[in-house]
Amino acid sequence: MNQPLVSLVTVNFNQPEVTVELIASLEKQDYQNIEIIVVDNGSKRPFTKEMTQNEKVKVIRSDKNLGFAGGNNLGITEAKGDFLFFVNNDTEIPQNTIQSLVERLKNNPRMGAVSPLIHYFDQPHLTQFAGYTPMNLITGRNSAIGYKQNITVENKLIPSSFLHGAAMMVRRSVIGLVGMMSDNYFLYYEELDWCQRMKDQGFQLAVDYRSNILHKESISTGKDSTLMAYFKTRNRILYMRKNAPTVFWLLFCVFFVCFSLPKMVLSYLRKKQYDHIKSVVAGIWWNIQEPVTSAKLGYKYDSLLG
């Protein structure tokens, strides 16, 4: 059987052991025509020689942390596959996942990208992601379908408004048309923006319910961190600036200032998380001083990156 080449791209940041576990899970795949690209994204913890000298793995080193989007973009420049499978390094991939995703894209020419179901690694009966709802252009929010529900693997292909950056297979031809991820997001919302650009070009997005991955969530950033508060605030606004029609952008600004911002500030005050408030303000200020078309982050808030 002729198998198109799949380039699996994953980004590592100070988690060599976790990344090695992902690579080990790939050895169980039925699908064999895979090149594995690991972007070591400014890590201070190096890989072992066994990893860097593994003939099955191409390790690309960036001395600077380029963020999730920038790291994946670096992987794209090295990928040779007809399909590119972007996966978080804190995942493990069951046996038939890659084969199923490739078949979905081969059999649906207008489908630009597809994600598998995402289940929690430590609670595999619970689903983290089974699709995304459309973006609310007033609140700048959307929701994950199936979150913490028991959604089983079955032979269904479900349209989705967006796909999940933890596991997304994309046609090379689509990337050639819409471009790589916008690296001025750095972290969070970048895959939503990328998916929106795919839809703007007429491509469909879907979730393959007959395949899944297991996600070890929050190993990288931690729950409720200042990093998360900064980038989720900053990039929520940035996404709306780039993608919302003018009327909805104005409505979003009113909603954010009058409802969303006071709610966040009061919540952090109750928890005595004063640094989180500073992070939210920094995220707003970034949008005030940076143009929408800015191609890079600028690294003005490196202290927030730990």
- Judge if pTM exceeds 0.85: yes
State residue 301's pLDDT score: 32
What DSSP line would sit under 227-251, residue for residue? HHHHHHHHHHHHHHHHHS-HHHHHH
Please identify every stretch of the chain with a pLDDT value under 70, giving residue numbers as ranges.
Answer: 1, 218-223, 293-306
CA distances 145 to 128, 136, 178, 188, 198, Å, are: 8, 15, 26, 18, 20
State residue 50's pLDDT score: 72
CA 40 – CA 99 distance, rounded (Å) = 26
State residue 223's pLDDT score: 64
10-45 per-position pLDDT tens digit:
999 988 899 999 998 888 888 989 999 999 998 888
281-300 per-position pLDDT tens digit:
999 999 999 877 653 333 33
* 234-266 residues labelled b (16+ CB within 10 A) or e (exposed): bbbbbbbbbbbeeebbebbeebbeeebeeebee
